[in-house]
Amino acid sequence: MSTIMSGFSFDLSDRTVLVTGASSGLGARFSKILATSGARVVLAARRTTLIDQLAERIRADGGRAVAVAMDVADEESTKAAYDAAEAAFGTVDTVIGNAGVNIEALAVDIEADMLDAIHSVNVRGLFLTLREGARRLIAAGSKDMQNGRMVIISSITAQSISPGTAPYSASKAAALQLGRVLSRDWANKGININMILPGYILTDINSDWFATPGGEKQRLGWPRRRLMDEDALDGLLLYLCSDASRFVTGAAFTVDDGQSL
């Protein structure tokens, strides 16, 4: 199997991982990294064209992957996605809550429906994803096996001030607290929940912004004056999905190259 050079080695061959928002960006990156480490990967997104193609590439490289349609904000779609995942690989024991949206607008220009659109995915959708995963894990005996792993992708904006991101930052703060509370609720069910708070990573989505004077000014305001590379979260993600993190739950890990300092 060809590999993505992450510099880390974890054997996840006994794990079935569902990744939401897997069609692009970090979700696509996570899916490839997890498959490279041996996991059975379920790529979930609303539109399946891109995840179908990614699943094919992973399989061509010797990995195990399946694409499933999933609208995280829709309860029935979420249940159907887990059904499809189980039909392909059995119980999902590891969940990566990565799906997220943002709307670029000043707070005074944000309408109620725009706010609802952000929170329906970033908060409601995250809760539905985790809840459905937990229900199935508990039914499959996670309390005895101690094999449940959930990783929430929040943001440094959950804890630090980033002007112009009020609705998004609020949703990511909610995601952070949701993970903390659920980690306590499900601690005795053999499910570990941890949160990653990434800083700004250079992606196709933000590359145009950081090429503008405003983006350049933002970058130069950080202590190291740089964006992180796309592999910045690889090692932590693999650790949190692996048995090495069996004693870690309810923790929030900031990975931002000092951007929030």
Q: Which of 23, 37, 82, 168 is catalytic?
A: 168
Is the distance from CB of 143 to CB of 120 less than 8 angstroms?
no
Q: Token pair of 141, please?
A: 């005996």
Q: Is 24 a residue of the active site?
A: no
- Cα–Cα distance, 176 to 56 (Å, whole number): 33
Catalytic residue among 155, 171, 183, 245: 155
**189 flagged as catalytic:** no
Check if 172 is active-site: yes
CB of 21 closer than 8 Å to CB of 98? yes
Inter-residue contact 126 to 73 (CB < 8 Å): no
Q: State CA 176 to chain mean position distance.
A: 12
Helix (H) or strand (E) holding 230: none
Q: Which of 172, 183, 242, 245 is catalytic?
A: 172
Catalytic residues: 155, 168, 172
